[in-house]
Amino acid sequence: MNDNDKVPYASVRPVQSLDLLSQREMASLAAAGAEIHELFRRCALAVMNTGADVDDARELYDQYQDFEVKVVPESRGLKLQLYNCPAQAFVDGKMIEGIRAHLFSALRDIIFTYHKLVEQQHFDLDSPEGITDTVFRILRNGGIVNSNLPPRLVVCWGGHSISRQEYDFTKDVGYQLGLRGFDIATGCGGGAMKGPMKGATIGHGKQLNKKSRFVGISEPGIIAAESPNPLVNELVILPDIEKRLEAFVRLAHGVVVFPGGAGTAEEIFYLLGIKMHPDNSDLPLPLILTAPESSASYFEQIDGFLRDTLGDDVARHYEILCGDPVAVARLLKKRIKKVREFRMDKRESFSYNWGLAIPDDLQHPFEPTHENMAALQLHRRQPVHQLAAQLRRAFSGIVAGNIKDFGVRAVEERGPYRLRGDPDVIDSLGALLQAFVEQGRMKLDASKYVPCFTLAS
């Protein structure tokens, strides 16, 4: 890293008129060292780092320790003064318009969440209904929830560290989805999060569709490791990973999963923990696992792990279809038609799936401390949807230890997380995680990866 990689100073205003901020809101952002200011500083740095090959939040923060952002109140709103920021956010001295839009989206979400949630305590986070309402209001404030659109939003999950062949396959699937008018939502980073959007862009272009949506859903702890890719045209930042995952499933009309690592496994177990809950037995939400033919063994192993831990009945909650992007898009179109019919029959909203029952252990934030990771109940003496939720938390902790700033530092200070459970569950989990390591799915720079976990029965 050298000084040529930084822009010493820049001043920017909102792309469009940001809703007027109160004097109190601007003051809290302007106060250097305040909690909300530091949160926005880190998210702003992550947004401007779009395009860099970094998936370690600590590495990014260390590279730009001298980065600073100052909020300057003005009579017509505000402007941001930026110091020592990533040069890739600028072209000929001017900030790229998409990055500027993402910057003020982050500002919007952080202000709304902080003042409603922390200061004014307007959100009810103690009840399932209150948490679901909180997620809805954050999405609505960000303009993500649209009542006048038919069911056509496909959530695509998958890893940021994938092979070129796998990446090209995600583009091919996205292209076929775009040709059929589907919009895309992802975790907004690179790899399997960028590929479907890139392919769908071409598909929409061929159909002369000028209103395509590419929704990026993130949270402060992970945005630095998965900076918004340039194709995202609607960005929203939820306060934690659980609300981020709930936003995905409440918005989705169908879900496609590509190969990935621990984060992808976390997403799969989160959705299966919902789909296997007795209260959701009749609610359609298609889940398709897909990969190029050369990576079909990946989902064979995922399928085996799911059956080993949750039982063979889990397989009725997903479909595996590899090697054929056209068939994936056609199958999804057929399944989403059923979603539309169901919601019309039940008079349910197309824009937000209020009907899904999400268990408490999937809604309340899990803090992956060493103590909490060691206390996870990875055993079969519980309903399968609860075991799915426990495994989701295990993978969430591994993600934190791999790429999140606080998790990486905790593992460095106290050693790897220790996971315990039934011998067969732990053995199956160990085999899957070892495969992720060997296939380079844990980090972009797989050669330097040191596992952040140990397993014991």
The per-residue pLDDT for range 300-346, each reduced to its tens digit, is 999 999 999 999 999 999 999 999 999 999 999 999 999 999 999 98
Asked if 312 contacts 162 with a C-beta cutoff of 8 angstroms, the reply is: no
Which of left, alpha, beta for 137 (phi over 0: left; psi -120 to 50: alpha)? alpha
- Give the contacts of 111 (CB within 8 A, at least 6 positions apart): 21, 25, 29, 36
Q: What is the pLDDT of residue 220?
A: 85
Residues near 436 by beta carbon (within 8 Å), at least 6 away in sequence: 261, 262, 265, 442
The one-letter amino acid code at 304 reads G
CATH class of segment(s) 137-346: alpha beta
pLDDT over 90 (residue 228): no
The pLDDT tens digits of the residues spanning 383-414 come to: 999 999 999 999 999 999 888 888 889 999 99
CATH top class, domain 3-122:
alpha beta
- Name the least confident of 8-22, 99-113, 142-156, 198-212: 8-22
From 142-151, 220-229, 348-357, 410-419, the region with the lowest mean pLDDT: 220-229
Domain extents in the chain: 3-122, 137-346, 360-456
The answer on pLDDT for 296 being more than 80 is yes
pLDDT tens column, 67-87: 988 887 766 667 888 999 888
For a pLDDT cut of 70, what percent of the chain falls above it? 90
Q: Can you give the pTM of this predicted structure? A: 0.89
Name beta bridge partners: 71: 80
